[in-house]
Amino acid sequence: MSIGGLQATYVHVDEVLNDSDKSIVIPTEIEAEILSIYIDYQASADVGVRVPQIQIKDVAGNVVFKIKPNITLNPNDHKYIVLFNGALGNAGDIGDIIQQALPKLFLPSGWTIQIFDSSVIAVAADDMMVYIIWRERYV
């Protein structure tokens, strides 16, 4: 946590398996600038095409912003999705790694980042690990 408005970098990690619906709430008393989101997504053998989506929600749960990475997953696919703000450098996909620019996002406390399969296929069977790096400022 930052003190007196100073900034610090924080890494949020969610490695719970058998869960492809993740919700990360920005802690109280901070504002978070999202620097990067890394998603390691392993689809189970269950039939259906997964369509990952990221939604930013306000305190009331209203969706205020959506990010739809340019990717789908078939049964047994294993893909990596990397989103980060700033220049991409080597933009584009590299094998199973999907790279995408992330707009500058400053989220107040209580807002939620939800990362999920918008097709809702095998939520309790697919494995999704999420790593988010943000710069936080005490407010």
CA distance 28 to 41: 29
Q: Is residue 4, in this structure, part of any structural domain at all?
A: no
What is the CATH number for 105? 2.60.120
Number of domains within the chain: 1
CA distance 23 to 25: 7
Q: 81 near 71, Cβ under 8 Å?
A: yes
Q: 51 near 72, Cβ under 8 Å?
A: yes
Q: Please calculate the CA angle 133-102-91 and round it to the nearest 5 degrees.
A: 110
Taking only the tens place, the pLDDT of each residue in 31-61 is: 999 999 999 999 999 999 999 999 999 999 9
Taking only the tens place, the pLDDT of each residue in 59-114 is: 999 999 999 888 899 999 999 998 887 655 555 556 677 888 888 889 999 999 99
Domain of residue 40: give its range. 10-138
